Chains A and B, each alone.
Chain A
Amino acid sequence: MKTNLKSIFYLLIFFGAFACDTTDDAQPRVELEAILVADLAAPNDVIDRNTGEVEKVNPFQYFSLEQNAIVSETDDWDLAFKGTTIRTNSSKNVKAAIVSGIFEEINQVPTSATFATDSESTFAIPTGSGNGWYNYNSATFTVTPIPGRVILVKTTGGNYSKIEILSYYKGNPPADQIDPRATPSGHYTFRYVLQTDGSKNF
């Protein structure tokens, strides 16, 4: 399968000596790179809307934040995408929390963040409009990532990552150019920062 992944831009984040976290004050911060993942195709099952029956089951797309790649279900995946649902790998103890804020400004895992794992019936990243990462607008029939929602993930490797989902539509079109009938949905564009040193700082 052709990989959809591209890493495009680098983001420099500097932390001054006046950062509020006192534990690492003495050391200069490592510049972390934000990785952009464009058009990760994870379409939902095809459902007959008249009967509610599933006509065609689509697979989850398993993604490793550590490797920045789509992997197989048996590998060390962190997140799995299908439709608007994002699963976390509970068998590998992957945890996730949702926080509000500006991606660049979240320079550490807030103490208020409550991490959860997927269970049989619940998701660490809640599904449903307004609950997790997206809003569904019933007037325009579009799914839009909620601005300011940042997903924090503790990966299979035990590292912390922050993720911002930018678009649910193919090609990351501007919001006013989405035609819910024509623009293919289930195509994730997101960016993330992975802190590989095991700390809670980004």
Chain B
Amino acid sequence: MVLFTIAVLASPQPKKVVDQNGQPVLHASIWVDGKLHLPIEEDGTVRSSETKGTVVKIVALGFETMQLSWEEWQKREKIVLQEKSGILDEVVVAATRTDRTVESLPLPVTVLNSEKIQQTGGLRLSDVLQEQTGLQIVSQHGTGLQMQGLDSDYILILLDGEPLIGRTAGTFDLNRLSISNIERIEILRGPSSAIYGSEAMAGVINIITKSFGRENQLDVGLRHRSFNTWNPTGNLNLGSKKWNTSLFYDYFETGGFDLRPETIGQTQNPYQAHTAQVKVSGNLSEKWQSSLFVRAYQENSTGEMQSSGNEILDMNNSRSDLNINPTLRFKPSQKFLISLRGMSSWFSTNSVTRFQSDQSFFDIQNFDQFYHRTEVQTDFQATPTHLITLGLGQLIETVDATRYEDKNRFDAGYFFLQHQWDPKPKVNLVTGLRGDLHSQYGGRLSPKIAGQYKFSENFSWQASIGAGFKAPDFRQILLNFNNASSGYYVFGSNLAEEGIRRLENEGLIARVLIAPENLGELKAESSWAINSGLRWKIGSKILVQGNLFRNQITNLIETAPIAQLKSGQNAFSYFNIRSVVTQGLEMDFNYAWNNHLSFSIGYSFLDSRDLDVLERIASGELFQRNSQNQTVRVTRADYGGLFNRSRHSGNVKINYHHPKTGIDLALRGIYRGEFGFADLNGNLILDDKREYAPGWMSLNINLTKTFSNGIQLELGGTNLLNIETPAQPNNPGRMLFTGIQLPLMNFIKN
């Protein structure tokens, strides 16, 4: 621990405002008799020029407010603020793009701090998120997230507030993100297109990386898991009065696993991944602050597979990611904050498949995506109860890939406007509107309004209504794909007309199902959603949080055949064809027995349905085969909604700190209820008992011990009951782990 010496200077006596660790709390404000007092200097010093007063109040976000009499204030040299404990005091940036506590937000948000992240014993982001109420991890072209019943395609992933790019068939693979340098994760549910635009339809995950302030720090760690998984990490922070630089490196290696050893190729291929990150921030002057964030990711995997022609193929896949985000902040006065942010990202994948027999090429695929965004955001604190935010931005996106013709480029511009208003102490309102103008899908306005009413200190109710959208992606617009072995074609909507004409000229088309000139423009998928919830503190020990939601989504994009080929195969393109509804309830119940023991229960109910399927059931057009192999009409009661959604899911968590040994125990049971995994009876909908995968419980445990010199050891396991889930191939079975963290700087200093 670093101890600060207290400077004793001539009167008036200067004081330091620090936290329990002795770190200066620079954002604290000091009120003498209701009047805002002097600012805090960079090392936490306050020089009092007031010579008299009666009451002094010290207020800081995230800390308990402290009130002192004038005499006490005069006497003290150090003011130690107590950190607020509890879920509701965490700060959230994702919801409004300004700092706000969970408690003051009229929106359903969850914050996972580093302690909670650590308790999961996870190494990749998916390990942490799968333990959260209402979130599911699903395997679909990678390890994707499902939120409020919506797939990964509709969830925006932010790293320090900037979007991450690079999706495979819509899925953002959460295994690309190491969690070893994550400070906290903000989970915002419900559409947030009103500030983020496309993709933020189901919600937003914002990952905040660690910041160390002025402390010099050097940490190394090593974690080991079953399946030959190794994860060494290193972190170096160099701080000075004005500048702070942190370097981070993480290497991840796994042998993968195989759930079906009888077939050639593993379920998860072995891979190696490097993550490197540089964060530099500094104060240029009192009013100007700048920072630069650079992150690079490189992953290589190798594996075998069997072609449908029974040849064995060798696969070599690589993925890489580069993000460069410079930021400039200007605070001309207490009322204004202007931020200029640039963000450039490159994402590329390369996969080479060869015949094992002679190493000749079977297939080569490349994908290169570039995304650049420049954004300026102005926050204007008009009065203490009105905070107005205006954002303006421009973005460029290009993609160059084997399956696309040429290099393609999208351009867009946008604005967002947000008003945060507390008309009364008991009422918080957030209103937002965003406009997007896109070269591909035109203009779009996304409004949202959210309000909270605090019935008392302990009970508040929130409600919000908002619009979400997801723009058609490159694949849906520009794909030009021909599956050589089975002979079908897929055309993006822009290329469909040209593609069909070409096939016609080649004499391949038997019948055109939809005339290409009638295809129409592909529109953005769009939604309206309502969220309504409560936060209820019962005494000092119990906290209940709940949220009801309903998402109504139209214009969902899917492929459908546009022409039949003479070969019997089809040519497909993309259409706005589906409308779905997802609705449900998420509840979390926390109980702190005492300082050492706490537990929580989470429950999520989810109901999802395809409206077109309901219509076809109502008109008697959908049939199924019953167990006697007779054809009968599908009834509403048979219909189980969308595939891969659990109607019921939940978790039970127990945390215990053993005072004598200092060991922390985190025991969790994560339940995923039965879910439809595939159509078996030929009508393509979920309507048969055999189409469900059974529910299962993953029992996870983690033990950590932190020694007084800062060394931390951990030991634990996930899926201890070793339950196999063939319908959920991202579960490898029982996994045991151990790890060590060494804060080297502590030893150097000593």
Contacts and interface: CB of A to CB of B under 8 A. Distances in A.
A144 B624 CA distance: 11
Nearest to B626: A147
A134 B564 CA distance: 15
B683 A128 contact: no
Contact of A50 (B309, B621, B622): B309
A109 to B, nearest CB: 18
Given A122-B511, A147-B683, A164-B631, A140 B678 contact: yes
A159 interface: no
A17 interface: no
A146 B683 CA distance: 6
Interface in B588-645: 621-625, 627, 629, 631-633
A185 interface: no
Contacts of A166: 625, 629
B561 A130 contact: yes
Interface in A25-58: 47-52
Given A50-B309, A52-B484, A102-B631, A139 B678 contact: yes
A148 B570 contact: no
A129 B684 CA distance: 11
Interface string A123-166: 10011111100110101101011111000000000000000101
Contact of B568 (A52, A101, A127, A146): A127
A154 B622 CA distance: 26
Contact of B622 (A123, A131, A139, A148): A148
B308 interface: yes
Contact of A147 (B362, B487, B566, B625): B625
Interface in B646-704: 678-684, 688, 690
A145 B680 CA distance: 10
Interface in B550-580: 561, 564, 566, 568-570
Contacts of B569: 127-128
B718 to A, nearest CB: 26
Contacts of A52: 484-485, 487
Contact of A137 (B484, B633, B684, B688): B684
Nearest to B689: A176
Contacts of B682: 134-135, 137, 144-147, 175
Interface of A: 47-52, 84-85, 100-103, 121-123, 126-131, 134-135, 137, 139-140, 142, 144-148, 164, 166, 172, 174-176, 181
B568 A102 contact: no
Contacts of A102: 623, 631-633
4 smallest beta-carbon distances between A and B, as pairs = A148-B623, A144-B682, A127-B568, A49-B308
A134 B633 CA distance: 17
Contacts of B309: 47-51
Contacts of B487: 52
Contacts of A181: 263
B283 to A, nearest CB: 55
Given A102-B623, A148-B622, A128 B690 contact: no
Nearest to B565: A128
Interface in B334-365: 355, 362
B568 A147 contact: no
23 contacts: A47-B485, A49-B307, A50-B308, A50-B309, A50-B362, A52-B484, A84-B568, A101-B623, A102-B632, A103-B631, A121-B510, A128-B570, A129-B570, A131-B564, A134-B682, A135-B683, A137-B682, A144-B682, A145-B682, A147-B681, A148-B621, A148-B631, A175-B625
A135 B678 CA distance: 13
A11 to B, nearest CB: 11
Contacts of A142: 680
A144 B682 CA distance: 5
A85 B485 CA distance: 18
A144 B511 CA distance: 23
Given A127-B568, A128-B570, 7 more contacts: A85-B568, A126-B511, A135-B682, A137-B679, A139-B678, A139-B679, A147-B631
A102 B631 CA distance: 6
Contacts of A172: 629
Contacts of A51: 309
B629 A49 contact: no
A146 B485 CA distance: 24
A142 to B, nearest CB: 8
Interface of B: 263, 307-309, 311, 355, 362, 484-487, 510-511, 561, 564, 566, 568-570, 621-625, 627, 629, 631-633, 678-684, 688, 690
B359 to A, nearest CB: 14
Nearest to A149: B623
A131 B570 contact: yes
A184 to B, nearest CB: 16
Nearest to A148: B623
A54 B680 CA distance: 29
A147 B307 contact: no
B307 A128 contact: no
A122 B512 CA distance: 11
B625 A50 contact: no
Contacts of A164: 631
B681 A175 contact: yes
Contacts of B690: 174-176
A52 B482 CA distance: 12
A47 B486 CA distance: 10
A43 B566 CA distance: 19
A50 B570 CA distance: 20
B570 A140 contact: no
Nearest to B488: A128
A147 B624 contact: yes
B575 to A, nearest CB: 14
A122 B487 CA distance: 17
A16 to B, nearest CB: 21
A97 to B, nearest CB: 15
Nearest to A84: B568
B684 A100 contact: no
Contacts of B561: 128, 130-131
Nearest to B507: A121
B570 A147 contact: no
B485 A49 contact: yes
Contacts of B688: 175
Contacts of B311: 50
Contacts of B624: 147
Contact of A127 (B355, B564, B633, B680): B564
A50 B566 contact: no
Nearest to B560: A130
Contacts of B568: 84-85, 123, 127-128
Given A145-B682, A176-B690, A122 B510 contact: yes
Contacts of A137: 678-680, 682, 684
A145 B683 CA distance: 8
Nearest to B485: A49
B519 to A, nearest CB: 18
B72 to A, nearest CB: 69
A172 to B, nearest CB: 8
A175 B570 contact: no
A175 B631 CA distance: 13
Contacts of B625: 147, 166, 175
A175 B622 CA distance: 17
B634 to A, nearest CB: 8
A101 B632 CA distance: 9
Contacts of A148: 621-623, 631, 633, 683
Contacts of B355: 50
A146 B561 CA distance: 17
A193 B220 CA distance: 76
A166 to B, nearest CB: 6
A126 B564 contact: yes
| Listed residue (A127, A130, A140) with the most chain B CB atoms within 10 angstroms of its CB | A127
Nearest to A50: B309
A48 B307 CA distance: 10
Contacts of B511: 122, 126
| Listed residue (A122, A166, A175) with the most chain B CB atoms within 10 angstroms of its CB | A175
